[in-house]
Chains A and B, each alone.
Chain A
Amino acid sequence: MTNSAVRMTGVVKRFPGVVANDGVNFEVLKGEVHALLGENGAGKSTLSNILTGLYRPDEGTIELGGTSVTFGSPKAALDAGIGMVHQHFRLVEPFTVAENVILGNPETPFVIDTGSTVERVAELAKRYDMAVDPNAKIWQLSVGEQQRVEILKVLYRGARVLILDEPTAVLTPIEAEALFKTLRAMTAEGRTVIFISHKLDEVMSVSDRITVLRGGRTVGTVATRDTSTRELASMMVGRSVEFSRVARRNPGTASDVVLSLTDVGCKDDRGRQALHGVNVTVGRGEIVGVAGVAGNGQRELAEVIAGMRSSTAGRIVVGDKPVPNGRARAAIAGGVAHVPEDRLHTGLAAGHSVEDNMALKNYRTPLLSRFGLLKRNIITSQAGDLVTKYDVKTPDTATPVRLLSGGNVQKVLLAREFSTNPKVLVAASPTRGLDVGAIETVRERLVEAADNGVGILLISEDLEEIMSLADRIVVMYEGRLVANMPAVGATREQLGLLMGGATLEASR
């Protein structure tokens, strides 16, 4: 079959402890936009890194236009006509567009003829309908324009197959539309586009065919016109609906509200609006699960509640007191505990000892300090008690946290957070990266806390975790809460659709 542009057969790639690709089959035809769909961790990035020569597969073959190839380096893949547009741009900011485009191109002569380069880049941009000034410096450009420069770079190198990794993640809707137009102009010329995404509606609108990955395996390849977002969602998250809900001693109540957010908005680190008018409440002893694909505002949500980030709108009330905007100490004093995503470097000071980390939230209280001086002996004994109570495996309380295993790191963090007697716990991906035993322990601790009346906001990408722990589930998509439903009766398929941007009505 000569119509095949790329054919990957039986690709296996193992990393220590993980099989990232487990026999993936993937075929892309010439002149099509082929979407690669899957959740975070499904193996999309590994597969594209193999195709672009960054990784070598442990097993399996790659064919380009019918001939078998092996790439020793990204340069080899580029020479064979495969170009990658990364999610995080690799551009030299003080250089112009044209300079960036010719950078690293082996055909660039020693003395650069600026005039003709600019002309050629401008001509290429015009051909594919990409509005960008070749003489502009990169730092002057918007994110959308910078992405066009990345695309021009690979086109200039003569790529026949372009891989775009989550290209719309950084774009406004109008910029995304323009990008789709460009992609169609390229395929009309016989170039091939591989479009990596987890957003269902854009995959439906831009692609010709779709391959879905899950857990490192190919679930299947379908033609876009023969499928629906519903089918894609169920392929993406899987149909296995058998999961056990964790038994609760004291089921929570949604009425006795301990945390409420009203129309809360905030910006991310780059100054873009990350949360739009978020409304959510957590009741006493209630576990509310926040489902969503990473990067849809979950981190900002957790940080706003914990006072690490200022909100730009709305109000947050813990218990019956409003929390002052963007003040972590006030949030802690008001009863907010927080298990951040990045436990080792945000939740803990990794180079500090277990006992220092145990004191991180209450070292300013009269219990642990007086006249600005710390009571070291009480800090040590407090840590000793918590280590025993939470069964932390550590040689002693003076051991730096960075030397502990992942599960014990999380135990230290949970022990400290619960020791502050919180009203509310915001837990972001509390079991990610832990082994099975540690996951079990962490979940038990969360349920135990909820049984004791702590309201928990459980932010997780792991649907199974949310469905087995939460009383109520909300779904986040692009900084908005798009659904709010009881956990009992929610299905993976429905959640998968909502996480991919479908409306609640469409998901029913």
Chain B
Amino acid sequence: MKSPVRLERRLTQPRWLNWAIPVVSLLGALAVGAIVLLATGKNPLDVYWRILDRGFLSQRAITGTLRTATPLAFTGLCAAAAFRLGVINIGGEGQLYVGAVGAALVGLWVGGSAPVGITIIVMVLAGMLFGAMYASIVGVLRSQFNTNEIITSLMMNYIAGIILNYLIFNSRSYWRDPRSMGFPSGKPLEKRAFWPTYEIFGTSVSFGFLLAIAAAIVLWVVYKRSRLGFEIGIIADSPRAARYVGIRTKWTIVAVTAMSGALAGIGGASQVGDFAHYLDAKGLQLNNFGYTGIVVAALARLNPLGAILVAVLLGGLTNAGYSLQGPDFPSGLVGTLQGLILFTAVAGEILTKYRVRSNSGATKAVAA
């Protein structure tokens, strides 16, 4: 029994599809969501308006959305950077924790004495360095011993979680607040080590979010314009061609994994410097920043600038979800709507690479 339609690989991918398909996917999700809402006795238009308002429109909403989006932007960039090379680093979660550990370390160390600007810079650098070193373990294992990086990077996430718990709950480490006897917690940073926020059109934008935009631009240039980006593209396209022109594939794998980890590491640093102002072992592990980052990268089609946009979108959706929840609006329904939107977005992806053809006209299409 033949299916009436089939998927046919597109030879070329027209540019307009890049925006048309996400838009149509979103409309599709809203349409299906409307049916679910109607079935539960809600007014879809009213609900959608509330999502739009609480997630993106009202002034306080945008502040919250950008706050939620910041770590997602970094972990999204982390995943996108590595995926471009075909290295499936799903260790953004752990690399973010470790970056937070590094940033908290130097923040606590020099935060009280060093000039404010220097403190912030070394916190960012420490986050990058710790994330990069942690990720490069995965990169070295992959390039030297050909281990599967999906498994190693996933396992490293658990190790990073355990390190966090150890530092705050199970030891009298440098990061733990010695005064917190009853419930252990991280030692707070000095006020002057807090990262600045900027008021832009009445919305407060964290330093970390601006860093994420800068990182995205740098990453975009690396992939679009740099020699390294060119080599990464060749390796991903054809490892044999890379060997043929003498590209150092093993070195590149380690370098890109480290770069990927560094991005997640800044995300961790921003959690400490921008928001928590101490090493929040519990809070960091609560939100699955790293795993959501993979979704961000996939939806952005590994485009760094797209990752920022998607992170903001997901951030808004998450925040709107929190505000929708209530006695009359169960959290399951919120999850259903969010899931629908993500699902159609990912499903729409396939249409950028394939087109749907009717099987009856198949022979004609081939002949033409």
Contact = CB atoms under 8 A, between A and B. Distances in A.
B240 interface: yes
Interface in B218-260: 221, 225-228, 230, 233-234, 237-238, 240-246
Given A363-B227, A369-B227, 18 more contacts: A306-B244, A307-B246, A308-B243, A308-B244, A308-B246, A328-B243, A332-B245, A342-B240, A345-B241, A346-B241, A348-B241, A360-B234, A360-B241, A360-B245, A363-B230, A373-B221, A373-B225, A373-B226
Contacts of A144: none
A351 B244 contact: no
A26 to B, nearest CB: 37
B227 A373 contact: yes
Interface string A328-345: 111110000010101001
Contact of A350 (B221, B238, B242, B246): B238
Interface in A351-378: 351-352, 356, 360-361, 363-364, 369, 372-374, 376
A347 interface: yes
Interface string B187-222: 000000000000000000000000000000000010
The 4 closest A-B pairs by CB, nearest first: A328-B246, A329-B246, A349-B237, A346-B240
A332 B244 CA distance: 10
A388 B204 CA distance: 56
Given A364-B227, A374-B226, A376-B225, A328 B237 contact: no
A8 to B, nearest CB: 34
A185 interface: no
Interface residues of B, number: 18
B246 A352 contact: no
Contact of A349 (B11, B241, B246): B241
Interface string A40-67: 0000000000000000000000000000
Interface of A: 306-308, 327-332, 338, 340, 342, 345-352, 356, 360-361, 363-364, 369, 372-374, 376, 403
A328 B245 contact: yes
Contacts of A330: 246
Interface string B112-127: 0000000000000000
A159 B243 CA distance: 45
Contacts of A348: 238, 241
Contacts of B244: 306, 308, 328, 338, 340, 346-347
Nearest to B231: A363
A313 B11 CA distance: 46
A350 B225 CA distance: 20
A352 B233 contact: yes
Contacts of B238: 345-346, 348-351
A352 B246 CA distance: 17
A352 B238 CA distance: 10
Contacts of B243: 308, 328, 346
A361 B245 contact: yes
A425 to B, nearest CB: 14
Interface centre among B11, B228, B242, B246 (most CB of A within 10 A): B246
A351 B221 CA distance: 20
Contacts of A373: 221, 225-227
Contacts of B227: 363-364, 369, 372-374
Contact of B225 (A347, A356, A361, A374): A374
Contacts of A306: 244
A372 B234 CA distance: 16
A306 B234 CA distance: 18
Nearest to A344: B238
Nearest to A307: B246
Contacts of A331: 246
A96 B245 CA distance: 42
A330 B230 CA distance: 19
A355 to B, nearest CB: 11
A373 B225 CA distance: 6
Nearest to B241: A349
A342 B238 CA distance: 12
A338 B243 CA distance: 12
12 contacts: A308-B243, A308-B244, A308-B246, A328-B245, A328-B246, A329-B245, A338-B244, A345-B241, A346-B243, A346-B244, A356-B234, A373-B225
A352 B228 contact: no
Given A369-B227, A372-B226, A373-B227, A351 B246 contact: no
Contacts of B230: 356, 363, 374
Nearest to B242: A349
B237 A352 contact: yes
A329 B247 CA distance: 8
Interface centre among B11, B226, B227 (most CB of A within 10 A): B227
Nearest to A306: B244
Given A364-B227, A374-B225, A347 B241 contact: yes
Given A372-B226, A376-B225, A352 B245 contact: no
Interface centre among B225, B240, B241, B242 (most CB of A within 10 A): B241
Contacts of B228: 372
Nearest to B240: A346
B280 to A, nearest CB: 38
Interface centre among A328, A349, A403 (most CB of B within 10 A): A349
Contacts of B240: 342, 345-346
Contacts of A364: 227
A264 B244 CA distance: 20
B221 to A, nearest CB: 8
A330 B246 CA distance: 8
Nearest to A340: B244
Nearest to A369: B227
Contacts of A327: 246
Contacts of B246: 307-308, 327-332
B237 A351 contact: yes
A307 B247 CA distance: 12
A13 to B, nearest CB: 24
B178 to A, nearest CB: 47
A352 B225 contact: no
A403 B234 contact: no
B313 to A, nearest CB: 29
A361 B245 CA distance: 6
A403 B11 contact: yes
A238 B95 CA distance: 66
Interface in B129-171: none
B186 to A, nearest CB: 39
B134 to A, nearest CB: 25
Contacts of B234: 349, 352, 356, 360
B226 A350 contact: no
A369 B238 CA distance: 22
Interface string B326-338: 0000000000000
A372 B221 CA distance: 11
A498 to B, nearest CB: 30
B28 to A, nearest CB: 30
A53 B238 CA distance: 35
Contacts of A352: 233-234, 237
Contacts of A360: 234, 241, 245
A350 B237 contact: yes
A64 to B, nearest CB: 36
Contacts of B237: 349-352
A349 B237 CA distance: 6
A351 B12 CA distance: 11
A391 to B, nearest CB: 23
Interface centre among A329, A356, A360 (most CB of B within 10 A): A360
Contacts of A376: 225
Nearest to A360: B245
A301 to B, nearest CB: 15
A31 B318 CA distance: 77
Contacts of B11: 403
A356 B231 CA distance: 11
A170 to B, nearest CB: 23
